[in-house]
């Protein structure tokens, strides 16, 4: 039985990860800025009759709050085995539409939120000489994804952070993995740029996204991929298969991959 923390656990990928953990008998702290949503997830998970879930309100942009929660979980349970830095926000729009507010929000949540989780978890895991940090990035952290470059930039940063930390942690008992899914059917697709100035992709961008990427993956299938990847201590967990193919294409021919991304932009702009 593992002791785990999942950020952004009230919906989407975070909820699916928490469900997979409890289903295999783990104890999970489901955290989210949406406290009621996190509590609802924990309540439902406690009906599975296997592991155990509790809920906690957490704003990952608040470094002190993240540190307090992580040290509190360690103090209560005596250890901290798994941390899923999963909370994120969807930012979309052409570069000329984006304001500094879009950039700041993406950096604060998608990048600094992960930094805060790593900064809180890593010392605990070094001290106990065990643990696994799993950071949620995106396929957008491996391939050129236009029409949302603040999102793309932060996800590239999370990939680099994770792989660099994995190298540092090697031999010290701490494992680090980064999750890079292609488009997943979650509320992020229908809540682009929340509480930010509107762009051409604000609000529900699911139809636009499906013009460029019609095959949406489910959060439940991704969670299964993540659990397998964590069990195998994979550095990069890229899913599904078409995401791995896109990643391979970028590595083989970056110029062609950028041209393909440009075609997707044209398709979205034309409305076809």
Which residue is catalytic, options 84, 122, 151, 247? 151
Sheet holding 82-85, edge to edge: 52-57, 27-32, 3-6, 82-85, 131-136, 174-181, 236-239
CB 115 within 8 A of CB 168: no
Q: What is the CA radius of gyration of the chain?
A: 18
217 is catalytic: no
- Is the Cα dihedral 49, 54, 59, 63 positive or negative? negative
- What burial letters (b/e) apply to 83-97, b meaning 16+ CB within 10 Å? bbbbbbbbbbbbeeb
Alpha carbon distances (Å) from 217 to 137, 153, 168, 181, 223: 15, 22, 32, 8, 11
The catalytic residue positions are 151
């Amino acid at each position: 039985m593992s002791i785990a923390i999942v950020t952004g656990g009230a919906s989407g990928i975070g909820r699916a990860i928490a469900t997979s953990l409890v289903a295999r008998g783990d104890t999970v702290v489901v955290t989210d800025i949406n406290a009621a949503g996190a509590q609802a997830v924990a309540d439902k998970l406690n009906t599975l009759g296997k592991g155990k879930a509790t809920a906690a309100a957490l704003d990952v942009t608040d470094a002190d709050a993240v540190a307090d929660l992580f040290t509190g979980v360690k103090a209560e349970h005596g250890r901290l085995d798994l941390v899923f830095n999963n909370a994120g926000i969807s930012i979309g729009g052409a570069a000329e539409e984006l304001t500094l507010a879009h950039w700041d929000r993406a950096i604060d949540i998608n990048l600094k939120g992960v930094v805060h989780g790593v900064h809180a978890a890593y010392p605990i895991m070094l001290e106990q000489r065990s643990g696994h940090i799993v950071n949620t990035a995106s396929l957008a952290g491996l391939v050129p994804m236009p029409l949302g470059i603040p999102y793309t930039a932060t996800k590239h940063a999370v990939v680099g952070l994770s792989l660099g930390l994995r190298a540092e942690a090697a031999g010290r008992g701490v494992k680090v993995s980064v999750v890079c899914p292609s488009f997943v059917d979650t509320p992020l697709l229908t809540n682009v740029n929340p509480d930010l100035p509107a762009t051409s992709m604000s609000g529900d961008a699911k139809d636009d996204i499906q013009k460029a990427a019609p095959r949406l993956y489910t959060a439940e299938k991704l969670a299964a991929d993540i659990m397998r990847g964590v069990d195998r201590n994979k550095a990069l967990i890229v899913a599904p298969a078409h995401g791995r193919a896109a990643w391979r294409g970028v590595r083989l021919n970056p110029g062609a991959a950028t041209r393909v991304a440009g075609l997707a932009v044209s398709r979205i702009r034309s409305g076809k």
